[in-house]
């Protein structure tokens, strides 16, 4: 479980740049992970993601389809999807919140979204799946509940997460796979502190702050992260799960968060919404019908170099599957380019200036 190395090479306030090595694969943070739920990004082949260093794949979905028997034939997910960079797998905890299910002390009874059948996932099965997927980074199964649930339910969720984390930590045996703990606790600082101490006591390879981007306000999120991140060790990665909008990431990078994931850039693209710095615009608007300019003037992605807003708007209206490819590619590259510039700004001690330029420019 000791396959990850981290070295902080620059700080600007609490914002930081890390050099990270996982199984001999290197990357720098802050970093955004595109979500390849079933081992693929919707409408976008991996070979277009030349600058992407990590993708996130989903334990719940891959367990159901294609199933572990298929993945094992390929000795893991890397070979199955032909991706030789870093893969992080989430644990199924998010699906425990988002899909009809029943929780108990031992695990989660899930509904199979494909055929309606039921199956039970506990921390052992979640680890078995992720170890078979042979991802570089695995996540513990956690108890994720609505952030506005009653205090007593939040207490139960962090206690359950602690038990499941202990089980996962003791069971996990893949020496080529890092294992990350997850801090829960809703909006309650004392519960966030207790959950963080629970995770730290188990000495994971990295730590995620979970239970966010599920309905809280940006201020509430920032307050939770500001408090929680101070308890997490500086020599390990800090991950906020499920967040990927530019403003949201910049606010948390300022607090010392390193990595993020979200379907947001790809989902925006499928609705015709184009990321431009810290904002986005709707390409469906009629003002772009004859616009000969690229999506974003100074973007060097393949789409902006080669195509106009007018053409891409035409595809969106008449050839949507083609449009989704182009727009998803732009949105992911635009997101990655901004985080590349974030790293440069931290190295030059200009993060706050850059942040203001992106959000207010």
Active-site residues, by number, are 90, 261
- Decide if 261 contacts 37 (C-beta within 8 A): no
- Decide if 80 contacts 70 (C-beta within 8 A): yes
- Decide if 209 contacts 240 (C-beta within 8 A): yes
3-state secondary structure at position 115: coil
Torsion-angle region of 349 (φ positive above 0: left; ψ -120 to 50: alpha; else: beta):
left
Integer-rounded Cα radius of gyration of the chain? 20
- Decide if 154 contacts 181 (C-beta within 8 A): no
Sheet holding 108-111, edge to edge: 101-103, 108-111, 118-121
d(CA 185, CA 350): 33
Torsion-angle region of 24 (φ positive above 0: left; ψ -120 to 50: alpha; else: beta):
left
- Decide if 196 contacts 210 (C-beta within 8 A): no
Beta bridge partners of 138: 89, 179
Give the pair of three-digit tokens for residue 288. Answer: 């772009």
């Amino acid at each position: 479980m000791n396959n990850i190395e981290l070295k902080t090479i620059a700080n600007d306030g609490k914002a930081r740049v890390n050099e990270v090595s996982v199984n001999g694969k290197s990357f720098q943070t802050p970093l955004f992970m595109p979500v390849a739920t079933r081992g693929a990004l919707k409408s976008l082949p991996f070979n277009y993601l030349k600058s992407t260093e990590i993708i996130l794949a989903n334990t719940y979905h891959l367990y159901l389809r294609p199933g572990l028997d298929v993945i094992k034939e390929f000795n893991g997910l890397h070979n199955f999807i032909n991706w030789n960079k870093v893969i992080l797998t989430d644990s199924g905890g998010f699906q425990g919140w988002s899909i009809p299910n029943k929780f108990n002390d031992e695990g989660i009874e899930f509904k199979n979204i494909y055929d309606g059948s039921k199956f039970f996932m506990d921390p052992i099965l979640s680890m078995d799946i992720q170890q078979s997927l042979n991802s570089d980074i695995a996540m513990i199964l956690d108890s994720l509940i609505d952030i506005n649930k009653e205090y007593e339910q939040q207490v139960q969720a962090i206690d359950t997460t602690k038990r499941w984390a202990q089980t996962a930590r003791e069971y996990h045996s893949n020496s080529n796979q890092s294992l990350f703990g997850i801090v829960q606790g809703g909006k309650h600082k004392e519960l966030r502190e207790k959950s963080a101490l629970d995770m730290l006591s188990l000495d994971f390879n990295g730590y995620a702050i979970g239970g966010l981007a599920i309905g809280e306000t940006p201020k509430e999120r920032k307050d939770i992260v500001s408090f929680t991140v101070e308890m997490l060790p500086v020599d390990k990665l800090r991950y906020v799960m499920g967040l990927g909008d530019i403003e949201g990431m910049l606010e948390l990078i300022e607090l010392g968060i390193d990595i993020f994931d979200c379907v947001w850039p790809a989902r925006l693209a499928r609705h015709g919404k184009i990321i431009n710095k810290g904002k986005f615009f709707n390409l469906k608007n009629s003002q772009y019908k004859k616009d000969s300019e690229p999506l974003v003037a100074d973007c060097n992605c393949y789409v902006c170099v080669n195509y106009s807003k007018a053409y891409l708007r035409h595809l969106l209206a008449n050839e949507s599957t083609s449009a989704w490819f182009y727009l998803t590619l732009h949105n992911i590259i635009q997101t990655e380019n901004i985080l590349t510039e974030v790293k440069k700004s931290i190295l030059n001690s200009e993060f706050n200036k850059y942040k203001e330029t992106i959000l207010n420019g």
